[in-house]
Amino acid sequence: MRRIAPSKLKVLMMMFYGTGILGIFMGLVVALPSSTVMITFMGVINIGLGAFFTYIFLTQAPASDDKRKKKRKNH
């Protein structure tokens, strides 16, 4: 997998954790009894996706500052 910018990963992490927490809350407190399990399960899936992107963020190699690998611009 290629390197993903840390700012994009942070946005994805916040999005999945936020929707996961909101989904679990809505499923357990607000939803009708017929759809409680499904909404809560979707919230748990979102928490799992947030954990996956957190893992990617924490284990990603730092950006290389090697000047030999950068393309030279002709002036």
pLDDT at 7: 94
Convert the chain into a string of H (helix), E (strand) and C (coil). CCCCCHHHHHHHHHHHHHHHHHHHHHHHHHCCCCCHHHHHHHHHHHHHHHHHHHHHHHHCCCCCCCCCCCCCCCC
pTM of the model as a whole: 0.80
The answer, yes or no, to whether residue 65 has pLDDT greater than 80, is no
Cβ atoms of 47 and 21 closer than 8 Å: yes
Percent of the chain whose predicted confidence (pLDDT) is above 70: 85
pLDDT at 24: 96
> How large is the average pLDDT for residues 46-67?
89
Average pLDDT taken over every residue of the chain: 89
The model's confidence at residue 61, banded by pLDDT at 50, 70 and 90, is: confident
Give whole-number Cα distances, 18 to 30, 32, 38, 43, in Å: 17, 21, 17, 9
